[in-house]
Amino acid sequence: ASFLVLCFRTSLVTPLIFVLLLQPPLTQLSIVTQPNIVLLMADDLGIGDVGCYGNDTIRTPNIDRLAKEGVKLTQHIAAAPLCTPSRAAFLTGRYPLRSGMDAINTYRVIFWNGGSGGLPPNETTFAKILQQQGYSTGLIGKWHQGVNCESRNDHCHHPLKHGFDYFYGMPFTLISDCQPTETPEMDRVFRRKLWLYTQMICLVTLTAALGRLTGLISVHWKTLTCLAGFSLLFFVSWFSSYGFVRYWNCIMMRNHEVTEQPMVTDRTTSLILRESISFIERNKYKPFLLFLSFLHSHTPLLTTEKFLGRSSHGLYGDNVEEMDWMVGQVLDAIDKQGLKNTTLVYFASDHGGWLERQEGTMQLGGWNGIYRGGKAMGGWEGGIRVPGIFRWPGVLPAGTVIDEPTSLMDIYPTVVHLAGGVLPQDRVIDGRDLMPLLRGTVEHSEHEFLFHYCGIHLHAVRWHQKDTGAIWKAHYVTPIFRPLGAGACYDRGFCPCFGEGVTHHDPPLLFDLSRDPSEAKPLSADTEPLFDTVIRKIARAIEEHRRTLTPVPEQLSLYNVVWKPWLQPCCGTFPFCWCDKEGDN
């Protein structure tokens, strides 16, 4: 009997040993436990533009499918209401003013590929940490975090210096100037002033010359020559940049190489989609991070002919529906490679929709649903509350809705934790790991306070009072809407952060978002018994927050944002910058 038992045990142990011998080394096993991470970020998409957030006229079945199969966040907040600072916060997990990526003036984003400002080299992005953890990291689409610092090829702000192994896309952002048929968008008012000043100087020069020729004015020819020289110099000084915006800013790059200058907008969408799917296919055998940063739905709303006229919301709706189709193509590629259950997919927008973006009666910006305000407004919910969706089958419970304050900055610690990395210990990280909340192991978000900046100016603060469920929000500064009674700054095109275009509130405007998410009815000491207590609590939180801030170089200073010819990416011999290296493809 004992012999039979021994034989039986041997028969069990032998195949077990054989199976263990066939297993890969332990290091490979640990890599398999790291999920692939696909981050999908829309540009200027309003929370009210998506079906699963209440829109029943723009069709977004693929984004809606993500929400159905995953977790939808209803209080997902951008750290800034504009592209450059919001994306800096997303990449670093830190409020943008900590890295100098928020504005001290009216220039609130990176303005030129040939500027010297950008995401500082000493900032540690989540891509850099995942790269160190063995991930293949790729960025496809929009960057808008700067390119060079001191020379045309130092690439100090470039994605490849910030942890991405591969980059294909726009180092800048899509603007109407990229379409020759569109009305110029970049610095439109300032450009008109420059044209006016040029015409005035030329008129003075011509008048003086005619006066000298007719003898009506006594002026030396040397003076006239200097005046004419000044006129020419003034014109060249600004037209060399603003006259060639399409060539300087509307370019495509693959890694450090400029591939299109200017970009051929008719094929941009197909190339970005092709590159995204190719990245997934190339890296399916090891963990990868893909950050697909859409050019949709920013003006000039590049939309292929297949989607034109399909929506009931004009060109903007067509553009959103095309982006949703692109999301579906990426999800299909993940499924086709058998990666669905090992891939965390995240979808969001960088900030709220642009309410003021109109051409005549046509609305070219997004809709922010029930929320007040929009893009460029640092305090109002419409500028900062965005879609936030996570899907990871088998790990995150499908069909879950979470109404807790979360931030785009939370992606940083979340993906670093999933990759097995360690957060930097030498700096403040404002984001919080979302996995416990997403998996349902905790009830509340870790955020008690969130600070809402417009540039470097603190406009509002929210306090999540977890014991009562109240979400208090105090506004210290709000933009003045024009015309009166409107919901945006239609007279300016953008709402300002400071100056004559804002109102300071003392005491601050107070809302309870749990009862009034539209911020329609401000509370007062007469209507809210806790008014004074809440305001004092928030004031103390602001003091503590400000003690964590340290001075850093301002990346969006006037010097850093102006165009510098010696920093301009160029695929030829400057200033003869023209190429189309994608044409053969």
Q: Max CA-CA distance within the chain?
A: 132
Cα→Cα distances 144→17, 454, 469, Å: 54, 18, 37
Output DSSP code: residue 576. Answer: B
- Dihedral sign of CA atoms 552, 556, 562, 564 in order: positive
Query: Is 489 one of the annotated active-site residues of the chain?
Result: no
Contact 88, 145 (CB under 8 A): yes
Q: Residue 470: beta bridge partners? A: 465
Which residue from 271, 255, 437, 280 is spatially nearest to 263, judged by alpha carbons?
271
Q: How far is CA 547 from CA 200, 543, 544, in A?
A: 50, 6, 5
Catalytic residue among 7, 76, 83, 226: 83
Specify whether 155 is catalytic: no
Strand partners, 140: 168, 292
Q: Write a three-state SS string for 141-173.
A: EECCCCCCCCCCCCCCCCHHHHCCCEEEEECCC
CB 366 within 8 Å of CB 360: no
Burial of 537 (0-12, 13-18, 19+ CB in 10 A): middle
Q: Rounded distance, CA 127 to CA 78, Å?
A: 19
Residue 259, helix vs strand vs coil:
strand
CA dihedral 569, 570, 575, 577 (to 10 degrees): -140
CA dist 214 to 188, 218, 223, 226, Å? 39, 10, 16, 20
Inter-residue contact 473 to 460 (CB < 8 Å): yes
Residues near 575 by Cβ (< 8 Å), separated by ≥ 6? 240, 565
User: Dihedral of CA 106/109/112/115: which sign?
Assistant: positive
Residue type, 400: T
Alpha-carbon gap, residue 473 to 12, rounded angstroms: 64
| CA dist 165 → 38, 181, 292, 361 (Å) | 15, 35, 14, 44
Residue 435 · residue 446 · CB < 8 Å = no
For residue 313, give every residue at least 6 positions away whose Cβ sits within 8 Å of its Cβ, in sequence order, or none.
57, 58, 320, 363
- What is the rounded CA–CA span in Å between residue 320 and residue 570? 32
Evaluated on CA atoms 154, 158, 164, 165, the torsion sign reads negative
Please tell me which residue in 144, 162, 351, 459 is annotated as part of the active site.
144
Just list the catalytic residues. Answer: 83, 144
